[in-house]
Amino acid sequence: MFIAILLISVSSMLSAQLTYGTTGLLHAPSAEMQKDKTVMLGGNFMNKEITPPTWYYHTYNYFLNVTILPWMEVAYTCTLFKAEALGLKPYGYSGFTNQDRYFSIRLRALKEGQFWRYMPAVVFGTSDPFTSSGGGSIGSTEGNGYYSRFYAAATKHISIGKEEIGVHLSYLYNKRKEYKLNGIAAGISYNPTFAPELRMIAEYDSKDFALGATYLLLKHLHIQVELQKMKYFTGGLCFQFRLK
């Protein structure tokens, strides 16, 4: 009851959520940041086309995200495993019985327009950077660390008449053998003035192209839909609020 009252009483801002459970575009990063003390709770249906090959089936994830300081965001994301994929069926298990867990962190180096009118915002970030399996490693090549990636992202918003579009460019790197995310990623976001709660996104995440949108409902609930490779559906919900 306390949480419900808290969520109703605080205000929110519009932004997309990444399938990683962090601020960004759809699957590609951006340099946008939430306001200080923003909390996001959400989950997604994950089409197998958007996950590492370990997930040869559709799955789900859920996450907790907190912007601890105006320049730092931390997230904890869990992705569900099926017992059959882990070899647990002979032991009487079936369906979603386990989960992969990882942290993400984003650090803002520059605000948009901080020293120069045309300066973009710049963020450095990582998801799933460390795994304790096999004695522990940073940026694992195989095994755990399925969603490992490191990136630098830049974002600039451009006014065109009464409208504004966001231009996003980033470089991603990981050492994964089966799920490489190496190279340039880019995207465009657009919030139409006639529907400011709607955000439309087109992106290239260094592997695939995707189209999607988010919609802010009742000031707190983000609804996201995405077509990975322009045809495979992924979608989710995110409840966002700010601590006073």
Domains of the chain: 18-242 (2.40.160.40)
Predicted model pTM: 0.87
Whole-number pLDDT of residue 18: 67
DSSP string, 154-213: EEEEEEETTEEEEEEEEEEE---SSS---EEEEEEEE--TT-TTEEEEEEE-SS-EEEEE
CB within 8 Å of 215: residues ≥ 6 apart? 197, 198, 199, 222, 223
DSSP string, 87-134: T-GGGT--SEEEEEEEEEEEEEEE-TTSSSTTPPEEEEEEES-EE-GG
Tokens of 60: 């789900």
pLDDT of the chain, 244 residues: tens digit per residue: 334 433 333 334 445 556 889 999 999 999 999 999 999 999 999 999 999 999 999 999 999 999 999 999 999 999 999 988 878 777 778 889 999 999 999 999 999 999 998 999 999 999 999 887 767 788 888 888 999 999 999 999 999 988 999 999 999 999 999 899 999 999 999 999 999 999 999 999 999 999 999 999 988 999 999 999 999 999 999 999 999 8
Whole-number pLDDT of residue 187: 97
